[in-house]
Structure 1
Amino acid sequence: MLNQIYETCEYIIKKTNFNPEFGVVLGSGLGNFVDDINIEFTLPYSEIPNFPVSTVSGHKGALIFGTINNKKVVAMQGRFHYYEGYNMKEVTFPIRVMKQLGISKLIVSNASGGVNSNYKVGSIVLIKDHVNMLPEHPLRGFNDDRLGPRFVNMSEPYSLKMIKKVKEIAQKLNIEVEEGVYIALQGPTYETLSEYKMIKNIGGDCVGMSTVPEVIVARHMNLETFGISVITDMGTENNIVEVSHEEVLKAAKMAEPKVRALIKELIINY
């Protein structure tokens, strides 16, 4: 894998000669964050050696390089999921590449279903912890010590310092935010009512099909990580509705300006 990472980075460096500080993964309906970036280079995934290609509607599929207030950023406009047929090493490969390119901080975003009755559609949740229920682990197999340790300390997967900073920003911008535990399931089906109940019973506040593999790999490489989720549907017993991908994207779009503002201010002020 290290050779593939070097090969990919060599291609990207030749194309961009760019040394980013922040990496951002843009989830469902949040791709327009790139409008906040003073873009210098755009590389479609299809042109990058060893990169998978996103197959999900709402995920455009490009690496964006640029600045936000002089902070250098690389953004993934579209991510990869286990349910698309990729293995976990492929799903997390771009995180390894961004680290090799120079990032020290990673911001991940997603859309998720809420099981916390304090949430509603459009709620913005700062992810404070997660439970990994995906059937394959991104660190399974041989461990290359040059990438990170065999056994990874996950006592603080999401940076408490970054969460604190975003809370301060939210207060200043008068944006209501929640905190919660994110549960990752395989997908691509949305959850049944019984699955939503299970999520709540094991301590989850929201559920989705992404993010956790990227965060595990980020921590493996000692990247400071922040996660943010938009609640796009509710799965509480009195509030479960039929959900579609189109409705998820629509709900994410409604919250997107606030999420964009929080991420932008975090990058500028951190």
Structure 2
Amino acid sequence: MEIGLFIPCYINQFYPEVGKATLQLLQKYGNVTYPMSQTCCGQPMANSGCEKDGVEALKVFYKNFKDFDYVVGPSASCVLHVREHGATLYPEMSSLVPKVYDLTEFMYDVMKDDTLEASFGHQVAVHKSCHGLRGMRLGQCSERVTCDVSKQDKLLEQVDGLSLVKPSRADECCGFGGTFSVSQPDVSVRMGNDRLNDYINAGAEYITSGDMSCLMHLDGIIQRKQLPIKVIHLAEILASKAINSNAKNSQHVNAI
């Protein structure tokens, strides 16, 4: 299986450890290649109402990933943008879009992985990002009368020593919303404070998510207020043993 590793620009710049953890997880399933010329997927432009300005970014995305069996990235928001808007804005993307997956759904739906050997001895709350929950249906939404399985919870249940903590409002927005946090900072921070108080009151030591953008927003508040809680991307928890093991074996990723 040939897998293209899609690392969103903000993860590449600020959270490279998330990209490394994603690589370690994907190497279990096939040959992983990181196209070096990949760029932003164009989501920030779309969020600002200037989606046509992101077409050139989609063209670069298509050029880099069109020949892979699967394209996997550790960000539900970026993956959702490509899947929902890619083919509309750039028709050639129509053949690629069905092969683009968020890390959670690739592991749970495609590979159906129930053999994780991770270990993380902490109390962890899962932040259900809006794009992942309501856009990609990675879990149950309170406003929908369905029986959707929380795919992230199911993956984390395989992690030794990890205890899942349930906040009182499991699917509430953190207030980040991409450019919303820039245009409406006061509202954004207030929403972030509410989420953090809920997680802390539930006894969580860590907040995890499939979207580092949400965690980045929450971590900014944590650092400013020196709150007793930390953030960690889902990939880092699921790869907690694989990273240590593969480091000893000096595994590497292909780059083109």
Pick the TM interval, shorter chain: 0.3 to 0.5
Greater share of helix: 2
Greater share of strand: 1
Higher relative contact order (CA 8 A, sep 6+): 1
TM-score (norm 2): 0.38
